[in-house]
Amino acid sequence: MSPPLTGIIVAMQEELEVILQSLDKQRSVQRAGMEFHLGLYAERPVVAVICGVGKVNAALCTQLLISEFNIQRLINLGVAGGLGAEIKPGDIVIADSLVQHDMDLSPLGLAKGQLFRMDVFDFKTDPILRKHALQASAQITHHDHFVGRIVTGDQFIASPNQAHALHQDFSALACEMESASIAQVCYLNQIPFICIRSISDNANTGAHMDFEQFTPIAVANASTLLQNMIPLCDSVPTQASIKA
């Protein structure tokens, strides 16, 4: 039996390029203005794509991966802003849960972040994928790695007040603009999912890297993580086994 197909969503062109360098590419497919690259990565079948910025782009891309390409698990790599005081630029945050911080139905009596008539507050990542991501990140010895909640919103968080509020309200370690919507689509489709983010700045502490300094770090981290993680994923439950 061949390994199941893994979807890989990245945030930056630079991260996709480093994946394509190691991808035994078979073909590319255009859907909804996105280019999906299919082939073998570490001898396992994958489809890699840039989803674009924001929750709508990310959700659309995720559903296409599931409906059009029949992926059996999904890995999301990208950049995030740090929220925890101990998190520094270059560090890695592996999500254990994700929340949409800009969802606010509090006038209806719902907690901030709670989706209307959704049976969960946060979306948990797959524990086995999370374990493998942690194993893979251990190979990156020049930066620290953390496991915790990541929050998502269609906002670029730049002020210390905003960052502090997100950390306090959601106990979040990082914030960005895509992954909770990816997690929601995976939850609804019962697809195992993991989110791994490289930290570019921390609005709480004022620590940051400029883009030219940070990009090579994010790219190198993404490459190391994938090269070490993809072979470990052979033991991850697939959609079919979850539904059985």
**Structure confidence by residue, pLDDT tens digits, 38-73:** 999 999 999 999 999 999 999 999 999 999 999 999
Domain-embedded: residue 178: yes
Is 237 a domain residue? no
Answer yes or no: are the C-beta atoms of 37 and 60 closer than 8 Å: no
Element (H, E) at 39: strand 34-41
Would you state the pLDDT for residue 242? 36
Provide the phi-psi class of 42: left if phi over 0, else alpha when psi is between -120 and 50, else beta.
left
Give the active site residue among 122, 126, 176, 201. Answer: 201
pTM over 0.95: no
CATH number at residue 111: 3.40.50.1580
> Does 222 fall in a domain?
yes
Residue 239 lies in a domain: no
Domain that holds residue 227: 6-232
| 219 assigned to some structural domain | yes
Angle at CA of residue 235, ends 144 and 36, nearest 5°: 75
Instruction: Provide the percentage of residues in the chain whose pLDDT is more than 90.
Output: 64
Active-site choice (15, 96, 126, 178): 15
Residue 132 pLDDT greater than 70, yes or no:
yes
Q: Is residue 243 part of a domain?
A: no
And the tokens for 157? 């968080």
Is 1 a domain residue?
no
Q: How far is CA 83 from the centre of its chain?
A: 16
How much of the chain is in helix, strand and coil states, percent to nearest 5?
A: 35, 30, 30
**Number of structural domains the chain divides into:** 1
Residue with tokens 């893994």: 6
Any domain includes 242: no
15: annotated active-site residue: yes
pLDDT, one tens digit per residue, over 153-170 is 999 887 888 888 999 999
Rg (CA), the chain: 17
CA-to-CA distance for 17 and 20, rounded, in angstroms? Answer: 5
- Establish whether 201 is a catalytic residue: yes
Q: Where are the alpha helices (DSSP H) in the chain?
A: 13-21, 55-69, 127-137, 160-170, 179-189, 211-229, 239-243
